[in-house]
Chain A
């Protein structure tokens, strides 16, 4: 038996016979207050990236502490096709969500790529761009390599070309595939106006689209709106392969002063788009066969707005490819470039290398395989 004891609550040493602890004032007969068991953090709940609170993100996506939206899955997307292609899409710095969407599928000597930019003035433009790239991407997968041997006889899914009909030479068939893909995407986007939120009927979801099918050195592409494709050869400025369906492009073609037209507030208003109110969509399609190796660069206006000069555009893309030594790294660097310049819009960029036609004919004409888009 000891003459002194310790307070169970605060561990202060007590005088013999004391009834109350001198230090914390608790009555000694009482058991110490039960430590409030801290609710184990719900492992399924995410931590808030804004205020740092743990497991605070509720079912509706907002932090239970600071109320901030905990980020959407589309805020930053990457697709890595190794040496065959890469694409990155980013929310940017000014917009609250990413209304751009992208599709990348690669095979041996083949790639399908689609970029779409939702029209902000419409309702749910993110749904429009999302369905557009999926519809177009799946249709592009059917594009055949112009140099591929005719399909094996007996395949019930294949048609047999009539003897007298010649297949279109080179890449022309790929342009038809791009047209088919964009037309399919247009129908898919138009169908959105009558599904989901009733407000979609009043301001139907709309988007731009640019799609390309690459088979060896052959490229077929098409577009509606102001998302662009550039061709970047071994040297020299980048070559813009598309012509924007925009007010500025239209009036410049009519003879207006290019500088004045580009500075007009209406410059970026698009004159063609995908959506229920777009009327019959007539995608513009083209094709070519690369005579020297280069890169296709597909991008939304979130990138090209900051690089209007083709020479500067080419220089920045080349520098990104050189500095990062990978297509994905270069695509990331281009997104970072646009964000550093202000990030005023959503940014999507895709890079696809195209070999020169002199290259040894490919031996394997596998169909393309869609890549999983990763949420980074």
Chain B
């Protein structure tokens, strides 16, 4: 796989300034001919709790799981877990992984037809079983889908302890069907497992959602890519965030790697491009000084795939230091947009309509200004946008729970800044 890393920044800082910002765009060409160099393992976890009987969810889930199995490439190892009060392996035999082929896919479909909805919700146990199955395949690209429709029924703190144990061991995309599950709960899992979270409001949409996730997972050709950041002495990394395709704060996931360097996990990669925002505090220099504020490496194990430099140059020429870098400004705005939506939702839930109106107004303004049409449309289902330019909005009296949850889960979705404009 070949990677490129490119830094976009205004390296000129005013005298006394000590904050360095840069957007690093990492692009991968994918594997040779789109092929994986190693193996891959896929695990599908389907909630089979009693509530799944409502609205024909279990039937839709069965159909979606079967469609997902059809999308698994030949030779990829896979398993299906039925989620009840414990974790039960539905296919193949407990503790084993099947190798995808026309025969095993047909056998899996038969097993899925036997899936019945009767039991509780125990996400910690489900994830733990998935982790145990994945553990037999070191070096594989590991991906799981978790589908649920309700709250976790395990004792408080158990899920957190499981996540601490298995974090970043595999990528887990979480989907909630209906409106009675908790966004915060699935977001926590997705965040720790470097995956995504989204709502599937109608059961009939499950099949498309599963197919998309499996297709994306099959396109991954590298399992465990990391961003290594070196900073000079007396400097600190204030934050490292993925800002495109969605906002993910990686700051807390740092693992030290030698003097003045740390690694941040980027999960599995196919042919794709992602943007990261680095913010570094450095000691201020004097006019004419040039400092290397960070050296950024794209790593896979001990192999360095690409690197780029984030620099700081101090100048008393304000024409240079006040120039705003388009990329940095755009993604700073996208991160603020996500924060404004989260704050607006929290205020609304707390009954603080005044704060909610202000936050949603700011969000509408940011979404409109940055051309983030998808987020603006989601906002329009929760508030009446009277004037997006000034950020004038009114709260809607009645809002569908699904619309609010969609806004919540998708608030971190960003749009890429137009380059070269």
Q: Which B residues are CB-close (under 8 A) to A60?
A: 292, 295, 309
CA distance A94 to B313 in the complex (A): 11
Interface residues of B in 257-306 (CB under 8 A from A): 282, 285, 287-293, 295
B73 at the A/B interface (Cβ < 8 Å)? no
Q: When each residue 84-107 of chain B gets 1 if its CB lies under 8 Å from chain A and 0 otherwise, what string results?
A: 000000000000000000000000
- Tell me whether B288 and A65 are in contact (CB under 8 A): no
- Tell me whether A94 and B292 are in contact (CB under 8 A): no
Binds B, one of A66-74, A186-194, A318-326: A66-74
Q: How many A-B residue pairs have CB under 8 A?
A: 49
- Tell me whether A96 and B313 are in contact (CB under 8 A): yes
Interface residues of A in 193-227 (CB under 8 A from B): none
A interface: dominant SS: loop
Q: Which A residues are CB-close (under 8 A) to B313?
A: 96
- Tell me whether B288 and A66 are in contact (CB under 8 A): no
Given A67-B282, A67-B293 in contact, is the A96-B232 Cβ separation under 8 Å? no
Given A96-B313, A96-B315 in contact, is the A67-B232 Cβ separation under 8 Å? yes
A337 at the A/B interface (Cβ < 8 Å)? no
Q: Which B residues are CB-close (under 8 A) to A69?
A: 289-292
Expressed in whole angstroms, the minimum distance between the Cβ of B69 and any Cβ of chain A is: 47
Interface residues of B in 308-362 (CB under 8 A from A): 309, 313, 315-316
- Tell me whether A62 and B288 are in contact (CB under 8 A): no
Given A67-B231, A67-B282 in contact, is the A62-B292 Cβ separation under 8 Å? yes
Interface residues on A, range: 10 to 19
A295 at the A/B interface (Cβ < 8 Å)? no
Q: Which B residues are CB-close (under 8 A) to A51?
A: 233
A266 at the A/B interface (Cβ < 8 Å)? no
Q: Which B residues are CB-close (under 8 A) to A96?
A: 288-290, 313, 315
Q: When each residue 38-61 of chain A gets 1 if its CB lies under 8 Å from chain B and 0 otherwise, what string results?
A: 000000000000010000000010
Interface residues of A in 91-111 (CB under 8 A from B): 91-97
Among candidates A65, A68, A92, A93, residue contacting B290 with C-beta atoms closer than 8 Å: A68
Among candidates B285, B293, B316, residue contacting A94 with C-beta atoms closer than 8 Å: B316
- Tell me whether B233 and A93 are in contact (CB under 8 A): no
B18 at the A/B interface (Cβ < 8 Å)? no
Binding site for A on B (CB under 8 A): 231-235, 282, 285, 287-293, 295, 309, 313, 315-316
Binding site for B on A (CB under 8 A): 51, 60, 62-63, 65-69, 91-97
Can you pick out 21 interface pairs between chain A and chain B where the beta carbons lie within 8 Å of each other? A51-B233, A60-B295, A62-B295, A62-B309, A63-B232, A63-B292, A65-B232, A66-B233, A67-B291, A67-B292, A68-B232, A68-B285, A68-B291, A69-B292, A91-B288, A92-B288, A93-B287, A94-B288, A94-B315, A96-B288, A96-B313
